[in-house]
Structure 1
Amino acid sequence: MKTHFKTIVVSDIHLGTKGSKAKEITRFFKEFSCENLILNGDIIDGWQLKKRGAWKRKHTRFFNRIFKMMERNETKVYYLRGNHDDFLDQILPMAVGNLRVQKDMIYKSFGKKYFITHGDVFDSITTNFRWIAYLGDVGYTFLLWLNGVVNQYRVKKGLPYFSLSQYVKSKVKSAVSYIDEYETELAKVAKAKNCDGIICGHIHKPENRMINGIHYLNSGDWVETMSALAEDHEGNWQLIYFAETKLESSPAKTVKMTGPAVLKEVSFSSREDLDGPTLRIS
C-alpha cells in the first residue's frame, strides 16, 4: 500500500549521467505518492549530456512514472530550474496541464512563507566562475565512479549502501566550510524575502533544521544520498532516505522528522499566480 503525502520535494537527480539513481527514484515513486511534487532543479543534467552523458530507457521511465502520478493521482508537478538544467531558461515560465516549469516559487500558508529554489544562484562558484564549476564537475564525476566501484564490492559482501563521496566531502575542511556558508547565506536570503524558511537542493546534502530562526530544508540528491523531503497531511516535514526504506522487501517507513507545518492547500487562482514565482494558498 502506498504512503501518500501532501507534498514531496526532490532535486539533483542528474538524469543523463551514469551516477544518476534513476531506477531507485522511479521505484520510490511507485511506493510514495503525493498531491504536490516539486522537482527542485538538476533533474536533467544538460552539462553531461552535452559532453559524455547518455540518455537511457531508465531515465525515460522516471518521467513516465511522473506522468502516471499526474494522471492517476492528479499530482501537481512544479519543475524548478537548476544550474545543470539551465536549458529551461529558454521556456520559462511554462504551464501544461498539471505541470508548471518556473525558476523558483514562494509558498504562502497560514501566515508562513517558504522560498523554494534550487540554490545555485546563491553559489558564487557556479554563478561567477562557470569554468571552475565545470572543472569541479569532472573531479566529482570521478568520485561518483569510485563510489560505484566501492558499493559494488559492498553489495557482494552483503553490506548496505555507503556514500563514499559524501564521506570524503565531510572530511575535507574546505568542503565543510563551503556547505556551512552556503546554508547560512540561504537562510539570510529567506529572511531578506520575509520568509519563514527556505527549501533548496544543489549541494547534495539533505538537511532539516533551524538556522538563526529560519527553517532550512535541503532535499539532498539522487546521486549520492538518495533522499527526499516530504510533508504529511498534518504539516510536518521529514527527510526520507531510500536506503532506509527497504522497498525491495517491506513497506516503506519514514526515518527522520522535524520542523513546523508548511503547506495545506495549493492552487493557482489567477493568471498572475502562474506568471509570478509565488504559489498562493486558497
Structure 2
Amino acid sequence: MKTQYKTLVVSDVHLGTKGSKAKEISRFLKQYTCENLILNGDIIDGWQLKKSGSWKRKHTRFFNRVLKMIENHNTKVYYLRGNHDDFLDQILPFQIGNLSIQKDMTYESYGKKYFVTHGDVFDSITTNLRWIAYLGDMGYTFLLWLNSVVNHYRIKRGLPYFSLSQYVKGKVKSAVSYIDQYEEELSKMAKAKGCDGIICGHIHKAENRIIDGIEYMNSGDWVETMSALAEDHEGNWQLIYYNEINFKEVHDDSLQQFFIGKPEATVIPMREVSFLKPKKDLEPPAISSTQ
C-alpha cells in the first residue's frame, strides 16, 4: 500500500557519482504516489560525469521509477535545472506529456504561492567565480570519500552513522554564515516576487521554517541527508527522512491487510517537521513556469 501526497520535492541526487543514493531514492519513490513530483536540480551530476563519474544501472532505475509514476499514476513531473546539471540549458524549456524541464517555476496551492528554484542562481560563487565552485566541489567529494572510510570502521565497531561533511559545515563559521545568508537571501527573493514561500535545494541542508514571514523550505539531498519535502492534500508541508521510514513495518502491514482484507492504506512512519496550516475552501493548486 502507498501513502498519497499531492506534491513531493526532491533535489541534489547527483546521479553519476559514487556518493549518490540512487537505490535509496528509487525505493523511497516506490512507497509513495503523488500528483506532482518536482525534481529540484542537481539530479544528474554533469560535472562529475565529465571528470571521474560513471553512469550505472541503478542511476537508470531512478528514471525508470519516475516514468512509472507518470504512467501508473499520471504524476506530473517538473525537472528544474541545477548547477551540476547545467547542460540542460541547451534544451530549456522542454515539455513532453507529463514531463516538463525548466529553469524554475511558481507553484500555487491552497491560496499560497511558492517560488521553486534549485538555488544556485543566488550563489555568487557558483555564478561569477565558476573555477572556485569547482574547487569547492572537489573538496566536498573528498569529504564524502573520507566519510565513507570513517563510517566503514564505525560500522565494524557497532557505532551509528556519522556525517563528516555535515559536522564540518556546522563547525566552520564561514560555512554557517554562508548557509544563514543563503536562506535569508532566498526568502527575500520570494517576498520580492510576491510569493508566500520559497522551495529550494543546493546547499544539502534540509529545512522547513519561517524567515521574516516567508516559508523557507529546502528539500535536502540524496547524498547524505536522504530527505524530501512533501505536501499533503490539505496543504501541509513536512520533511521526510529516508532513514526514519520503517520499511519492514510497511511491508508487514501490507501483507496483513492483504490476508485480512482491510481497505485502509498503510501510513509510512516518518518524522514530522513543522506543519503549516492552510486556508480552507480555496481554489485547487496551479503550477506555472516563471520563464
**Quick one: distance in 2 between partners of 1:86 and 1:264?**
35
Equivalent residues in 2 for 1:134-149 (5 A)? 134-149=134-149
Deviation at 1:266, TM superposition (A): 4.4
**1:164 corresponds to:** 164
Amino acid corresponding to residue 191 of structure 1 in structure 2: K
Q: Is the 8 A contact 1:161 1:243 kept in 2?
A: no
What do the CA deviations read for 1:184-240 (whole angstroms, capped 9, x no partner)? 000000010011100000000000000010000000000010000001111110001
Deviation at 1:160, TM superposition (A): 3.8
- Gap runs ≥5 in structure 2: 251-267
TM-score after normalising by structure 1: 0.91
**Quick one: distance in 1 between partners of 2:107 and 2:124?**
25
Describe the shift of the 1:147–1:84 C-alpha distance in structure 2 as closer, same or farther (beyond 3 A): same
**Quick one: distance in 1 between partners of 2:109 and 2:30?**
28
**1:175 corresponds to:** 175
Amino acid corresponding to residue 201 of structure 2 in structure 1: G
- 1:253 matches 2:266: no
**2:290 corresponds to:** 277
Q: Is the 8 A contact 2:110 2:285 kept in 1?
A: no
- Gap runs ≥5 in structure 1: none
- 1:80 matches 2:80: yes
Q: Is the 8 A contact 1:238 1:254 kept in 2?
A: no
**Quick one: distance in 2 between partners of 1:157 and 1:101?**
45
**2:260 corresponds to:** none
**1:63 corresponds to:** 63
Describe the shift of the 1:157–1:256 C-alpha distance in structure 2 as closer, same or farther (beyond 3 A): farther
Equivalent residues in 2 for 1:205-220 (5 A)? 205-220=205-220
**1:117 corresponds to:** 117
**Quick one: distance in 2 between partners of 1:265 and 1:65?**
27
**Quick one: distance in 2 between partners of 1:217 and 1:71?**
29
Number of aligned positions between the proteins: 271
After superposing the two structures, state which structure 1 stretch, 259-268 or 107-116, moved more.
259-268
**Quick one: distance in 1 between partners of 2:163 and 2:244?**
13
**Quick one: distance in 2 between partners of 1:266 and 1:76?**
13
**Quick one: distance in 1 between partners of 2:66 and 2:227?**
17
**1:3 corresponds to:** 3
**2:258 corresponds to:** none
**Quick one: distance in 1 between partners of 2:46 and 2:152?**
27
Bigger Cα Rg: 2
SS of corresponding position for 2:249: coil
Amino acid corresponding to residue 257 of structure 1 in structure 2: V
Equivalent residues in 2 for 1:8-157 (5 A)? 8-157=8-157
Amino acid corresponding to residue 221 of structure 1 in structure 2: D
**Quick one: distance in 2 between partners of 1:123 and 1:221?**
17
After superposing the two structures, state which structure 1 stretch, 214-223 or 30-39, moved more.
30-39
**Quick one: distance in 2 between partners of 1:264 and 1:54?**
45
Amino acid corresponding to residue 271 of structure 2 in structure 1: V
Describe the shift of the 1:267–1:208 C-alpha distance in structure 2 as closer, same or farther (beyond 3 A): closer
**Quick one: distance in 2 between partners of 1:75 and 1:156?**
42
